[in-house]
Amino acid sequence: MRDTILFGDCRDTLKQFDEKARMCVTSPPYYGLRDYGGEDSQIGQEQTPEEFIDELVKVFREVRNVLTDDGTCWVNLGDSYYNYRPGKGQGLVKQTVSNTKQDLPDMCPRRGNKLEGLKEKDLIGIPWMFAFAMRADGWYLRQDIIWHKPNPMPESVRDRCTKSHEYIFLFSKNKKYFYDNEAIKEPAKDWGTRDRTKGKYHNPGTGLSPHSGLSKS
């Protein structure tokens, strides 16, 4: 199974693994944002957020089966807004500013059914619904990591900020697991000391000017 690419629905290909993996890194389709065409059972086109979360939890049960006991699972998942439009067959232009087709259909389906508890334009909260459902299913929810995007995709909205972050969740199969913290450490920066003997903060040797407006106390 080493260095092997399996093409197909993950709900089928995960069952073909004959070896255990120590880590899974993935980003499933987001809820209701894109129709990739073809299969009616594609993930992300469920009728309700709850059905979407249930389907993801089932997928990650299969992931857990192919992880070693000290394995981890890293999942990137973005949020969705609730846009209710009654009627069947209505569509939205695909949510991208790219001039290329990217092998995607031009239209994405709207939510054609009214969902209780959600109002038009509500942020659904998909990432945390997923995180709590995974925890309830037996995973250890170890961390939420903010993926900050300095240059996010523009959005044609005028009543809120453009989204510039997504979540990455770290899950573990067991309480103790493999994690190489040395591999991701970064050198510490020396910002000097806060010497207030002259009445102002001064950091000699750093090239920084003393702060103004701070008197000796």
Cβ-Cβ contacts under 8 Å for 206 (sequence gap 6 or more): 190, 191, 192
Can you give the pTM of this predicted structure? 0.76
Tens digits of per-residue pLDDT, 129-151? 999 999 999 999 999 999 999 98
Number of other residues whose CB lies within 10 A of the CB of residue 30: 19
Compute the distance between CA of residue 28 and CA of residue 77 in angstroms, rounded to an integer.
Answer: 7
Q: What is the mean pLDDT of residues 165-174?
A: 96
Q: Do 77 and 169 form a contact (C-beta atoms < 8 A)? A: yes
Would you state the pLDDT for residue 111?
A: 56
Q: Do 215 and 207 form a contact (C-beta atoms < 8 A)? A: no
Domain co-membership, 192 together with 88: no
Domain co-membership, 107 together with 19: yes
Domain co-membership, 170 together with 213: no
Assess if residue 21 is contained within a domain: yes
Q: What is the mean pLDDT of residues 96-101?
A: 45
Q: What is the mean pLDDT of residues 170-180?
A: 96
Assess if residue 131 is contained within a domain: yes
Tens digits of per-residue pLDDT, 114-133? 778 888 888 999 999 999 99
Cβ-Cβ contacts under 8 Å for 205 (sequence gap 6 or more): 192
Q: Which two tokens stand for residue 44?
A: 């992300």
Domain co-membership, 31 together with 131: yes
Domain co-membership, 116 together with 198: no
Name the band, by pLDDT with cuts 50, 70 and 90, for residue 198: low
Domain co-membership, 208 together with 152: no
Name the band, by pLDDT with cuts 50, 70 and 90, for residue 97: very low
Would you state the pLDDT for residue 204?
A: 58
Structurally, the chain folds into a number of domains equal to 2
What range defines the domain where residue 213 resides?
188-217
Name the band, by pLDDT with cuts 50, 70 and 90, for residue 44: confident
Q: What is the mean pLDDT of residues 84-89?
A: 55
Cβ-Cβ contacts under 8 Å for 73 (sequence gap 6 or more): 23, 24, 26, 60, 63, 64, 67, 139, 170, 171, 172, 173
Which range has the worst mean pLDDT, 100-109, 162-171, 177-186? 100-109
Name the band, by pLDDT with cuts 50, 70 and 90, for residue 178: very high
**Considering Cα of 18, then 20, then 25, then 28, what sign does the dihedral take?**
positive
